[in-house]
Structure 1
Amino acid sequence: MRYLSKARRLEAVQACVLYFFFYSVLGWLYEVFLEVVVYRWGFTNRGVLLGPYCPVYGVGALVFLLCFSNLMAKREPAWLRWVKPVLVFLGCMLIATAIELATSYILEALTGAWPWQTYRDYAINFEGRIALSPSIRFGLGGLLFLYVLQPLFRRLVHCLSSRVRLGASIAVAVLLAADCAFLLFR
């Protein structure tokens, strides 16, 4: 097993904090886009926290990285190039749906509700907590994330100097911790 030096571990943690934040903000933007442009419901803060981010998307992104980064990095034979995206799609769909289901129970315990109770209107749903249509979108989003966005974000994060990366990751961690504390203690 290959062990990382302390500096490399710190760099990896900083990158994960920044990835978490990037994808939480992108998730919030996605939710607002759906609400305002697609469904035409008007704007509301789609997150449970004060800031423009949905942490469930950050969690999902980190879980996707944990589960699929080795598979994405592997060189495969030509026949597997067509199978791998299907496996990644199905894996992302299942993982995101499980995260969404768990998050609905956690949010209900903490706040008394979960933000996407509109799933009750979907043809195939479970208690209004998860539904087939969003699960398919999450699978497609996972493909976009792993094949397009993550390579770009990885380059962006690794272009930052170690000092800037450290400062940004600390600032993001403090911001998110304060926002979570406000949610829990209000």
Structure 2
Amino acid sequence: MEAVFRRQTLAPAESRSGASCKLSYSTLFWLFLVGSIVGFLLEGFWCVLTKGYWENHSAVVWGPFCIIYGIGAAAVYLLSILLKNRRLPVQFAAFTVSGAAVEYFGSLFQELCFGSVSWDYSDHLFNLGGRVSLRMALLWGVLGLLFMRFVFPAVSRLFGRMEGNGWRIACAVMTVFMAANLLVTSAAISRWHSRMTATDPPGPVAQWLDNTYDDQTMEKLFPNMQFGERRSGDSADA
């Protein structure tokens, strides 16, 4: 079984069509962007299946981008290159650990910077502070193997064709857009948190944030985000 899987998993040096794999900023950025959109759709459809309604799982104020999935997609691509000659159990273990690390440090970063929580696995068996759990880590491992088998060859061929000034300009434009998106999102979340405790009159920027991203708007944009202590037994999806 392992031998069959490894024969069918293409080495990153070339794809079935002979296209060389690219490792560059633009490659990782487009993977991050597409992975963020795919994650947004997966989370939304999962809510439809389990809750009966669509729920917004974007991590930014502009556009359908679930950032944690984008980071995961870029990390999985890098690992697919590094693990090309490794045995299947090693590949699975590496994807499992790296996926758990992305979730753990992503959760820690959000909590330290914004005092908020977007997912909590405290009700999962074998969880680490509610930030990661064995179940979710194993899921990352499976997704990583599936990426190597089914997605990596196609992605390698696609990036082999994404050359020229048009793609470089598009990458630069989208980089600026996402940087601004993350900056405004961070400011909006920080201001949202401040409104719960602050009594000082807001300045011009804070007033703009209050008018544009009021509490009702933020609750719609981030329905799973909670401020304060991580609550045991309460789980929210990323």
Q: Is the 8 A contact 1:49 1:180 kept in 2?
A: yes
Question: Which amino acid in the other structure matches residue 17 of structure 1?
Answer: F
Over 6 Å off, 4+ runs = none
Matched, 1:30 2:32: no
TM-score with structure 1 setting the length: 0.79
Specify which structure has the bigger relative contact order, considering alpha-carbon pairs within 8 angstroms and separated by 6 or more residues: 2
Corresponding residue pairs, total: 166
Question: Which amino acid in the other structure matches residue 171 of structure 2?
Answer: S
**Separation in 2 of the partners of 1:130 and 1:40?**
22
**Separation in 2 of the partners of 1:149 and 1:115?**
28
Which structure has the larger Rg over C-alpha atoms? 2
- Are the structure 2 counterparts of residues 125 and 71 from structure 1 closer, same or farther at C-alpha, using a change threshold of 3 Å? closer
Per-residue CA deviations over 1:16-67 (Å, capped at 9, x if unaligned) read 2111111121222222222222x22632221321221122222222223333
**Separation in 1 of the partners of 2:176 and 2:66?**
16
**Separation in 2 of the partners of 1:144 and 1:163?**
32
TM-score with structure 2 setting the length: 0.63
Superposition deviation, residue 162 in structure 1:
1.4
Equivalent residue runs for 1:105-144 within 5 Å: 105-117=108-120, 119-144=121-146
Q: 2:55 aligns with which of 36, 44, 52?
A: 44
Consecutive unaligned residues of structure 1, counting only runs of 5 or more, are 1-9, 75-79
Structure with greater helix share of residues = 1
Q: Is the 8 A contact 1:18 1:172 kept in 2?
A: no
Computed over aligned residues only, the root mean square deviation of the Cα atoms, in angstroms, reads 2.2
- Are the structure 2 counterparts of residues 125 and 70 from structure 1 closer, same or farther at C-alpha, using a change threshold of 3 Å? closer
Q: Is the 8 A contact 1:157 1:165 kept in 2?
A: no
Q: 14-23 vs 58-67, which deviates more?
A: 58-67
Per-residue CA deviations over 1:157-183 (Å, capped at 9, x if unaligned) read 222341232122123212211110111
Per-residue CA deviations over 1:107-126 (Å, capped at 9, x if unaligned) read 11233222112x12222322
